[in-house]
Structure 1
Amino acid sequence: MCINKAIQFCDFKSFYDKYKPLTPYGYAHKESMPFYKQADDLDAIHQSVDTWINFINEHQNSTLKVVHHLSRIDKLNTLDKKDYDIADLQLIKKFLIHTKAIEQYLPIDIAKSASIAFQTHSLLNILMPDDDKTESFHLSSAFDPQLQKVREQICQADQTINNLRIEAHKQLLDKLGFDFSNRDFILVDKKQLPANGSPLLLAELYDSKLIKLRVAFDKTYMDAQMLKEQLLNEESEIEKRVLKSISEAVRKQAPQLLKDIDTITQLDVHLAMAQLSVQLQLLKPNYRAETIVVDEGIYYPLFERHQQKDLRYTPLRASFGSNAILLSGSNMGGKTVLFKTIAFLQLLTQMGFRVPAQAYATKLFDEIQVLGTTDKAAIEGLSSFGQEIHQLSAGLTKGQSRLLLVDELAKTTNATEAKAILVAVLKFISQQPLITGFFSTHFINIPHLDGVIKYRMRGLDKEAFQRHCHEQTSDINDKIRQINAYMQYELKPDEGVNHSHDALTIANMLGLQAEIIDYANDYLDK
């Protein structure tokens, strides 16, 4: 998939898990992680999600009912078969019961706007001729008059057999004192048997002392049993005929059933998207822009971790008026978080979701590629630099639109050549309208390049830190909290002059020995 590495890079699945379709069909759609590249596809999704957001806000009780019925739907067995068994029909009936119930809870305007119209209600009537509204399915006598008749005859035969059994048991009890009530056989001592046996009993040795006795039913009883067997065989043949008739009705409506499955999938998926949008107050992105603009954009996985640790979170505000963007700044200054925010918002946009931002404007890309992070699919025989250049070359191939996020290009080679490669790649991308590239770097004094915009992270507010923090803490979490509190996670234009020594200040805050900090400062002064 063209987005796998981006998904891993920005921990997208930790947010994606909040999206919860309820049916097996919605879940399968979720697992496929569709990535849309056409604005018209996204327009259709957002139009439907808008409808469901209105439904959630205006019909809360009905929403709960719809959610309940969605949760009761199971996956149907294959419809591509000649004959359906009881299990198949039970699943189909259950599906139809809940789709019909869902439709009944939808106002006409909502159903029309979301294109909800199930085609197979007539099939439900076929599957429940006795108006049995339970989820289970059985071949009711109401399916066929002959089935009803033969089952009545079976009941009569059962009653006759039962009466004959009771009469035989009564005779044995009265004449011989043997009680066969609710038993098929009894065990008695040999001495209890009549000397000449009895025509009412069938006896066989059980062990050295006991005899196993069964009732010797007469011809009337045996004829009744034979009649019942014949009736049961007749019932089985009628049931087969009824199943074939029902199967034929299902086969005729299988295309409509498949359409209804598509409808319930769309309903389930878009309702889940709408619920997530309402829950997190997400807003619709603009995916028809020329360049990327972010207003109060939130990278949700980090935002949640900050909330758990009571850390300040700074949303991203930036307007990138070019397709070639260079970002510089110290470590822990927010460059990687900015990249992850862009990747996160772009994935949400192209998977049809609203976004956690006051505004997000972008264009649609065929691929999102992340370079500079650990790649498990390394090519044997290539160094880290070789791997990186191989990935970069693939990412710069003409013909497809791509969003590239590149962290410190060529960082494993010497600084002079790495800087030259970075400048050359930026110049190349500025001339490729289908590619939008974000690059981070520690290099300073990158020359001006037409079509390339350069930004810096504002970095550490040293004055505020020195004004308020007079004691060092030993706890690493407190150190991170301090850095977070005084780090300005904001962008400013990079004018090419770097007087910041944020890295040394951060190293000092993290506990690097003071002597080393002093040596480093002396070196910089010289």
Structure 2
Amino acid sequence: MNIEKFCEFDYISKNFLPHTPYGKVYKENLKLITDKKKLEKKYSAIDIFADIRKNKRFDYDKIKYHLKNIPYINPAKEVSDITDLFFYKKFLNNYHSIYKIMNKKTKDFFNIIWKYDEAYNLLNIDGYSDTFYISDKYDKRLAELRKSLNDISKKIEEKKKTFFELIKKETQLDIDSDFVIVETQKLNDSFNNFFNVEMYDSSKVVLKPKYPMDYISTIQEKERLIADEKNIENEVVEKLVKEIEKIRSDIRLLINSVLDIDIAVSSLELAIKFNLKRPVFNTTRISFKNGYFLPLKDELDTIKIPYTPLNFTFDKRLNVIRGSNMGGKTVALKTLALSQLMAQYGFFVSAERFETLIFDDISSVMVESDIKGLSSFAYEIYKFVNIYNSILDKKVLLIMDEFARTTGVSEATAIVNSILSKFNNMKNIYFFMATHLHSIERLKSLDILRMKGFDKNSYLKYFDSKTITDIKEKIKLINKFMDYELIRASNTDYISSDALDISYILGIDKEIYESSKKYMEERNENQETKK
């Protein structure tokens, strides 16, 4: 299973909303950042905008406004026409507005430069605006031509009006367009002097005015002026294109700066929404203070169920978390996976404090719902082999949830212990696994952990005088007495079984329950004797 899918990263992705087209492309192609300096710079960028938002909210909102108005341009493509000029103008205008808002320190941080006054002033020759047209100011001939066009257009309208008035006088037909449909019976000889007549249907004809030659010659003069105007506009566009081509090679640098600003602002918006904090990097361990798995926390908040945050320091490279279903093992793994992924994507994380290392890769081995006919166990082994062969020379965080759960307990235990033994000597591997298996061998680099789990005594005390028959209500109440705290397991912890107690509460036969407990106790004694 893809690590993003396992830790439900789409919940973060759908709330990460870049403003520019470049930011939206970035969002769809997130990559793990493995360079500490690059990560720290991304975090610092978020902090810079947090400060601007706090102390200069108006400036912050203006920057967001101009980011939203940044258009997409492709600097690899040559500037060629008026449409390109429009997009370059809109880009430069909004970039320049952001440049003017920022102080020198912020400009230096984001490499916001400006040396484009000539192109900027040329594109805004009529004053600042995000629209673009070929202004008269680009060529004085345009002003003369457009005045002539305006005058001749008025003359054409006057000639047409005079001709239509003559038609009305001679034919009593009121016309205001270049054709009219009339009934055939209304035709008379005078119509031939003013109209070309065409059949419309069996009872109607179409009349099209026979404009006089002076009207037609005026139309032809207008078309000549339009052609002249177009030729001059093309000359202007050609000159402007040459000017913009001079700066096209720099545009990629400006785009990169805009992208960095956009990602910083959008990441800050994400951090504010979910109260995310800046991660801290070290070289030895992973540690959480009040870490939480956002998708679950938000779901529990909506139904007013308290969420137990993750507070734990993983001092060792290999960590196995034991416990029954409903105990929170998978949530602990997802909290780790989501936090690490967010940290190495350059986001703040869902914890009051999260200390971690930087990994070259983050991988997971889980059974997916659609495995196209493969057995679950075969699929898990196939995925593990592929990942194992690719991580031998990388620093990797590898997460497994209930690995080998679909094969026999003995075989599963043997495989898991062998994997742990191999990883014990591979200092590049940081391994986390949730499991039901109990016979995990203790190793130098391994911590065996467990969730505190179901508080049976508190449950029985609270419901001693109550009778609950509805199974859904029982499950809901069991959840309330689950303790999701992660703790280190002692050598005898494995005899505890939340599953047995929960089964009994949910109605399993008492004799079966007692027999199961006895079996567990005997197995524990046998294993202690073997030791």
Taking structure 1 as the reference length, what is the TM-score of the superposition? Answer: 0.89
The 1:391–1:266 alpha-carbon spacing in structure 2 relative to 1, beyond 3 Å, is same
The 1:421–1:215 alpha-carbon spacing in structure 2 relative to 1, beyond 3 Å, is closer
Distance in 2 (alpha carbons) for counterparts of 1:111 and 1:512: 68
Deviation at 1:303, TM superposition (A): 0.8
Correspondence 1:392 to 2:384 = yes
Correspondence 1:455 to 2:449 = yes
Deviation at 1:150, TM superposition (A): 1.6
Corresponding residue of 1:46 = 43
Q: How does 1:336-355 map to 2 (within 5 A)?
A: 336-355=330-349
Q: Out of 143-152 and 265-274, give the one that drifted further.
A: 143-152
Distance in 2 (alpha carbons) for counterparts of 1:412 and 1:235: 78
Aligned length: 516
Corresponding residue of 2:277 = 283
Q: Out of 516-525 and 4-13, give the one that drifted further.
A: 516-525
Corresponding residue of 1:247 = 241
Cα pair 1:311 1:481 within 8 Å, conserved? no
Cα pair 2:400 2:432 within 8 Å, conserved? yes
Distance in 2 (alpha carbons) for counterparts of 1:173 and 1:425: 100
Cα pair 2:66 2:94 within 8 Å, conserved? yes
The 1:161–1:329 alpha-carbon spacing in structure 2 relative to 1, beyond 3 Å, is closer
Letter in 1 for 2:503: A
Letter in 2 for 1:26: G
Corresponding residue of 1:19 = 16
Gapped regions of structure 2 (runs ≥ 5): 523-531
Q: How does 1:321-400 map to 2 (within 5 A)?
A: 321-374=315-368, 376=370, 383-397=375-389, 398-400=392-394
The equivalent position to 1:437 in structure 2, one of 428, 431, 437, is 431
Deviation at 1:435, TM superposition (A): 0.5
Corresponding residue of 2:145 = 150
The 1:384–1:119 alpha-carbon spacing in structure 2 relative to 1, beyond 3 Å, is farther
Corresponding residue of 1:96 = 92
Query: SS of 1:266's equivalent?
Result: helix
The 1:77–1:159 alpha-carbon spacing in structure 2 relative to 1, beyond 3 Å, is farther
Cα pair 1:287 1:363 within 8 Å, conserved? yes
Deviation at 1:81, TM superposition (A): 3.1
Deviation at 1:82, TM superposition (A): 5.2
Q: How does 1:43-442 map to 2 (within 5 A)?
A: 43-76=40-73, 80-81=77-78, 83-86=80-83, 88-117=84-113, 120=116, 122-131=118-127, 133=129, 135-173=130-168, 176=170, 178=172, 182-185=176-179, 187=182, 193=188, 201-204=194-197, 206=199, 215-374=209-368, 376=370, 383-397=375-389, 398-442=392-436
Cα pair 2:504 2:510 within 8 Å, conserved? yes
Distance in 1 (alpha carbons) for counterparts of 2:365 and 2:172: 90
Cα pair 2:321 2:449 within 8 Å, conserved? yes
Corresponding residue of 1:31 = 28
Cα pair 2:110 2:257 within 8 Å, conserved? no
The 1:510–1:346 alpha-carbon spacing in structure 2 relative to 1, beyond 3 Å, is farther
Percent of residue pairs identical? 26
Gapped regions of structure 1 (runs ≥ 5): none
Deviations for 1:180-221, whole angstroms, at most 9, x for unmatched residues? 6633345587777467x88x6345365788776555444433
Cα pair 2:168 2:175 within 8 Å, conserved? no
Deviations for 1:327-354, whole angstroms, at most 9, x for unmatched residues? 2222222211111111111111110111
Cα pair 2:164 2:176 within 8 Å, conserved? no
Q: What is the RMSD computed on CA atoms of the aligned residues?
A: 2.9
Deviation at 1:173, TM superposition (A): 4.7
Letter in 2 for 1:396: Y
The 1:224–1:283 alpha-carbon spacing in structure 2 relative to 1, beyond 3 Å, is same
Cα pair 2:49 2:60 within 8 Å, conserved? no
Distance in 2 (alpha carbons) for counterparts of 1:423 and 1:100: 61
The 1:145–1:83 alpha-carbon spacing in structure 2 relative to 1, beyond 3 Å, is same
Cα pair 1:472 1:509 within 8 Å, conserved? no
